[in-house]
Amino acid sequence: MATQANSYELFHQIRDTLDQHYDRRERLIKLSRDITQQSKKLIFHLLRINATNRDRIFAEADKRHQDILALFTRAAPELQGSDRWRYAGNITGGLQEYIEALALWWFLRDRVLITIDDIEAQLNLVLPDPSQPRWVVLPSDYLLGVADVGGELMRHAISSLAKGDPNDALQICTFLQSLCGDFETLTGPGQREANKKLVVLRQCLAKVETACFQAQLQREEYGDKVDVTLWTEEESADAPHTSYG
């Protein structure tokens, strides 16, 4: 009889433990999804940048960033110590999207690749008290997040060319070439996610390289007289463009 009572108590404890674990996981999955959504909006916002609206775009980005950071602050206490790894898979989606947004922002502003330290500094910015839970960015989160910026920069490069700014596109091209090169040395067998992203990154790079090459040909043939709207399909809504007629 004694063991029966013990078993009852034990399963009660297991129930509480599992409930707590499932609830926490659920909360983090929700936060991760919210962070993803807001980060996506931040990315779209940043891509509306042009030569005249830089300051306005960055100021607005700052505001949006604060909202995202508030979500991260809510998640932080649940991800301390060994729990960082326990729930790594539940939060990584949002974190990667956020890193992608930050990486895009940093590139547009300073033409540099954001570092893990930069990201951690942003995430822990809102923590005035050093005893408060801190955010740790895992190298895998960083790599997978940064890899995604290739797609955004490709879009930006193409639209820069469309706006007649081949310089910008060339800078992106150089940046992506270096990023892709770094990635090649960091991926390998057993890193399925990273390898998949590398494939996409290579494709993005190839598109930017081809676009830059074509732009160069155009310039050789027509010089600066070329009307950019003739050879591009994309037109930015923000850009004041000349009409066909």
Partner 1 sequence: MESNTLTNLQNYITADTETRDKLREVVRELDVPCRGLTMPLNKIHVAKTDEDIQAVVKEAKESFGAIRPIIQRLAELVPPERYYRYNDIWGRTMQQAVFAAALITYLESHQMITPEQLKEYLGVAVKFDNDHVTEFHISVEEYLHGILSLPSELARFAVNSATHQAYHRPMQISEFVSRLFLSFQQLNLKNDSVRKRFDSLKYDVKKIEDVVFNVSVRGLCQ
Residues in touch with partner 1 (CB under 8 A)? 3-4, 6-8, 10-15, 17-22, 24, 80-83, 85-86, 88, 113, 115-116, 139, 142-143, 178-179, 182, 185-186, 188, 190-191
Pick 125 or 138: Cβ nearer partner 1: 138
* Tokens 């929700």 -> residue: 30
Q: Report, in Å, the least distance between residue 50 CB and partner 1.
A: 28
DSSP 82: T
| 3 state SS for 117-180 | HHHHHHHCCCCCCCCCCCCCCCHHHHHHHHHHHHHHHHHHHHHHHHCCCHHHHHHHHHHHHHHH
Nearest Cα residue to 127 out of 186, 196, 72: 72
Nearest Cα residue to 191 out of 153, 154, 147: 147
Q: Report, in Å, the least distance between residue 167 CB and partner 1.
A: 23
Q: Report, in Å, the least distance between residue 132 CB and partner 1.
A: 16
Pick 51 or 186: Cβ nearer partner 1: 186
SS3 assignment, position 57:
helix
Q: Report, in Å, the least distance between residue 175 CB and partner 1.
A: 11
Pick 20 or 66: Cβ nearer partner 1: 20
> What's the gap between Cα 159 and its chain centre?
19
Pick 32 or 159: Cβ nearer partner 1: 32
Pick 99 or 215: Cβ nearer partner 1: 99
Q: How many Cβ atoms from other residues are within 10 Å of residue 148's Cβ?
A: 21
Q: Report, in Å, the least distance between residue 96 CB and partner 1.
A: 15
